[in-house]
Amino acid sequence: MKGIFRKLFKHKGGSRFIVQPGDKQRENMVYYEMSGETRRAHRSWYRGKHTNFHPVRASLAEPDAFANHVGKGWLPPAPFIDKNTYIAAFGSCFAAHVTKFLAKEGYNVFGRNLRIDSHIVRSGEGIVNTAALRQQFEWALAGAAAAAGQWHDKAGVELEVSETVRKETHRIFEETEVFILTLGLSEIWYDKETGAPFWKGVPKDSFDDTRHGFRVIGVAENLENLERVRELIRAHRPEATIVLTLSPVPLAATFRPVSCITANAVSKASLRMAIDELMRAHEDDERLFYFPSYEMITAFLPDPYEDDLRHPKPAAVNEVMRAFQAAYLR
C-alpha cells in the first residue's frame, strides 16, 4: 500500500472500507479490513447500509467473534432474565441442554420440578416440529381438541390427553415470562383422518398404513405455525418474551428416498427461513428474539460434533450456553 493514499472510514454496518483512488484497477475494488488483513471486493455493486462481510478463519478466534460474526443483529440490547423470571424452555432435544443449564445456574425454569403434570415439562424435548408446537399451544390456551394416541414420549409411550394436564400446561403458559422455543425438524408423521401431527413418529406396534402418513412441512406452513404460536402468546401473555432457537442436531434418519444429509439440509433450512420471515414480519416486536445456537454449532465453533456427527460435544454446548448467558442472563 506504500505510496497510495488510503482513507479509512466507519461504515454504518460496521465494516471498514478502504478507498484507493489513482489506480484504475484498484478503483474498481473496495478494500476492507478483516482480522488485521486487507481484503477486497468489487465496487460494481451497491452494498446497502448494513454490509457485513463473511469472517475469515482468523476472525473466529478473536475475543468478540461471536458477537461480531454470529450474534450481531440478533441479540437483546442488554441481559434481562434474572433468577426470579419464570422461564419455559421446550421443543427439540437441544432444549434439554437449555433447561439443564438454566436450572444449574439457579434460574426459575419450569422443568426443575419433574412432578409438574405437564407434557412440556416431562416430555418437552419430543415436541420437535412446528405443527406439534402449535397444537400444544392451541390445546392449552385456546381449548382446541386433541385426539388420544397422537402424543408419545421419546420411548414411544403414549401420553395422556386429559383436562388435568391441559389445565397445568395452561397455568405454566400463563405464568411464563420468557418462552424459549427450540425447533428441531420439518419431517412429520401425521394422522390421515384428522391431519393432526405426531410429535416424533408413530410407534412401530401402532403403525397403520391406511391411517398414518408422512410429509415434509414447507416454509409457508412452518411460518403459519409460528405466527399462530406468537399470536396465542401475545393474546394471553402480551408482556412475555419469546426466544426462538433452531436445534443444531441433524436428523437421525430421513423417511424420504434421498440421502439423510440433503434431507436434513432442507429440514433445517425450512425452519430457519420460517424463523427469519417471522422476525422480519415483526421487527417492531421488541420481545421477539432469535438466538443463533444453530449457526454457532454448524458454522462457528471448530469440530463441534461427537463422532456420530449429530450430537454436539459438551464443550460446544457449554460455549453456546455461555454465549446465551452473556446475552440474556443477569
10 — pLDDT class (breaks 50, 70, 90) = very low
Q: Is the pLDDT of residue 57 over 60?
A: yes
For residues 35 and 267, which has the higher predicted lDDT (pLDDT)? 267
246-258 b/e with 16+ CB inside 10 Å = b?
Answer: bbbbbbeebebee
How many angstroms separate the CA atoms of 180 and 272, rounded? Answer: 16
- Amino acid 267: pLDDT: 98
pLDDT of residue 123: 53
Question: Among the listed ranges 15-29, 89-103, 165-179, which one has the minimum average pLDDT value?
Answer: 15-29
What is the predicted pLDDT for the residue at 203?
84
pLDDT attached to residue 8? 27
Most distant CA pair in the chain: distance in Å?
Answer: 79
Position 116 scores a pLDDT of 54
CA distance readout (Å), 299 to 293, 296, 310, 320: 10, 6, 14, 12
- Decide if 263 contacts 254 (C-beta within 8 A): yes
Single-letter residue type at 176: T
| Domain spans, the chain | 7-53, 87-328
Its pTM stands at 0.85
Q: How confident is the model at residue 11 (pLDDT cuts 50, 70, 90)?
A: very low
pLDDT at residue 42 tops 60: yes
Q: Which fold has domain 87-328?
A: Rossmann fold (3.40.50)
Q: What percent of the chain has pLDDT over 90?
A: 58
